Amino acid sequence: MPVCQNCGKEWTWKQTVKTLFKLKCPHCGANQYESASSRRRGSLVGLTPLVLLGSVN
Ligand SMILES: [Zn+2]
């Protein structure tokens, strides 16, 4: 789960889903940007088909 960039508190899954649209911390109300961990996960998912294609060829 992501952690607030301002207060450092962890968000629950529910809070994360809610804040995906608002990008505001439910604990301190600070504006958030996409967390580095979620971006890394997203890029891994995006790269997986390329890796699979590469292994086929
Ligand atoms: Zn916060």
Has residue 34 been placed in a domain? yes
pLDDT at 7: 94
pLDDT at 45: 54
Q: What is the mean pLDDT of each run of 10 residues along the chain (57 residues)?
A: 89 82 86 63 57 69
At 27 the three-state DSSP class reads coil
Which structural domain, as residue segments, surrounds residue 31?
Answer: 13-52
Has residue 4 been placed in a domain? no
The Å distance, Cα 33 to ligand 1 centre, comes to: 12
- C-alpha 31/C-alpha 2 separation (Å) is 13
pLDDT at 1: 81
Looking at the 3D structure of the chain, how many domains does it have? 1
- C-alpha 50/C-alpha 3 separation (Å) is 30
pLDDT at 43: 52
- C-alpha 2/C-alpha 17 separation (Å) is 11
At 40 the three-state DSSP class reads helix
The Å distance, Cα 37 to ligand 1 centre, comes to: 16
Has residue 7 been placed in a domain? no
